[in-house]
Amino acid sequence: MKHYKKRSLALLFCAFALALSAEDISVSNASIRQTPPHAKNTAVFLTLTNHSDKDIALIRAKSSLSTVTELHEHRIENQKMVMAPIPKITIKSHSSTELKSGGLHIMLLDLKESINEDSKADLTLYFDNGASLELNDIPAVQVEHKHH
């Protein structure tokens, strides 16, 4: 019986720690880019704010609208702007990181349907501190392409 109590307390502590860590990150201004008919890819944009004393990294995302979800960045290679997958997006302690067109963003690949003004997305974000956040009913918006 003693072993059972210790194990229950340990599980309770772990659940409490994860609950606290989920509050370390907040999300604002989430949107998904509308697509032309039959497009197979789009992007999610949002702002991540880290309220904790430690850096936290977004390491994975999962969406209801696509079979593949990747973290991406835009960078200059051979004097050209290219988009490439990255393993994580770090949100520095007590600061915000904006995921936006032409910068860091979440790519949705192999879309299940076209994204129009009536589309809504569900997205789960996974962080390196063990926390995850579920975002529901993210609105679709038209995003203008930036020319460099």
Contact 89, 97 (CB under 8 A): yes
Distance CA 74, CA 69 (A): 16
Contact 73, 65 (CB under 8 A): no
**Both structure tokens of 17:** 């720690």
From first to last of its 148 residues, the chain has per-residue pLDDT tens of: 444 444 444 443 433 333 434 579 999 999 999 999 889 999 999 999 999 999 999 999 999 999 999 999 988 888 888 889 999 999 999 999 999 999 999 999 999 999 999 999 999 999 999 999 999 999 999 876 554 4
